[in-house]
């Protein structure tokens, strides 16, 4: 190996044509533009989802009216109200047909949630405690939900979501 060989290699690199340099520069600019477009699209989609308030609790659920809930599932929602200086929400309901209501209420894993409309916030009823819900015609029941961070205020709209069924636009009372 002689001393001149590395010098020749350096000279060959310096002898690169203007067209080759321009081609490499163009490819680099295209790559940067492509990455920038992908980043803008990603940020735009994320911002759209946050602004649209797409709530994960309502994904895959079917919206029905309160009247349909009673007709199809034998459950009448009475009230969603704030308790404990706004720290809790109470959802009260009455079973009008226990046979139909059994299709809606299941085990602890199937506890209903409240999706805060216009946000991605979801309020959960207490989990982890063993419970059984004996459904009786004409009986009234309730679920309590923690209002962490006071995300729900009087007049807020929530959706009751249970086993793929959603009753939207329920107004929270005080």
Q: Where are the domains of the chain?
A: 4-52, 56-171
Question: Average pLDDT in the 80-104 region?
Answer: 90
Task: Write down the pLDDT at residue 154.
Answer: 93
96 or 55, which is more confident?
96
CA distances from 74 to 54, 67, 91, 107 (A): 29, 10, 16, 18
Q: Own/partner pairs for 75-78, CB < 8 Å, 24+ apart?
A: 75/100, 75/101, 75/104, 77/160, 77/167, 77/170, 78/140
Nearest Cα neighbor of 86 from 152, 139, 35, 131 is: 152
Q: Look at residue 41 and tell me whether its pLDDT is greater than 50.
A: yes
153 or 104, which is more confident?
153
Q: Against a cut of 0.75, is the pTM above it?
A: no
> Domain 56-171: which CATH class?
mainly beta
Give the tens place of pLDDT for each residue, 52-85. Answer: 457 887 888 889 999 999 999 999 999 899 998 8
């Amino acid at each position: 190996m002689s001393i001149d060989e590395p010098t020749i290699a350096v000279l060959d690199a310096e002898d690169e044509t203007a067209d080759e340099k321009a081609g490499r520069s163009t490819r680099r600019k295209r790559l940067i533009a492509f990455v920038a477009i992908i980043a803008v699209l990603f940020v735009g989609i994320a911002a759209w989802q946050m602004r649209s308030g797409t709530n994960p609790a309502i994904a895959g659920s079917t919206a029905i009216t309160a009247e349909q809930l009673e007709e199809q599932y034998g459950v009448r929602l009475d009230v969603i109200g704030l308790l404990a200086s706004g720290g809790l929400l109470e959802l009260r309901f009455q079973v009008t047909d226990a046979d139909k209501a059994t299709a809606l209420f299941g085990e602890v894993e199937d506890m209903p949630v409240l999706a805060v409309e216009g946000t991605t916030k979801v309020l959960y009823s207490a989990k982890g405690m063993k419970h059984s819900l004996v459904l009786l015609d004409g009986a009234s029941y309730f679920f309590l939900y923690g209002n962490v961070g006071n995300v729900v205020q009087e007049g807020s709209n929530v959706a009751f979501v249970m086993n793929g069924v959603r009753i939207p636009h329920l107004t929270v009372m005080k």
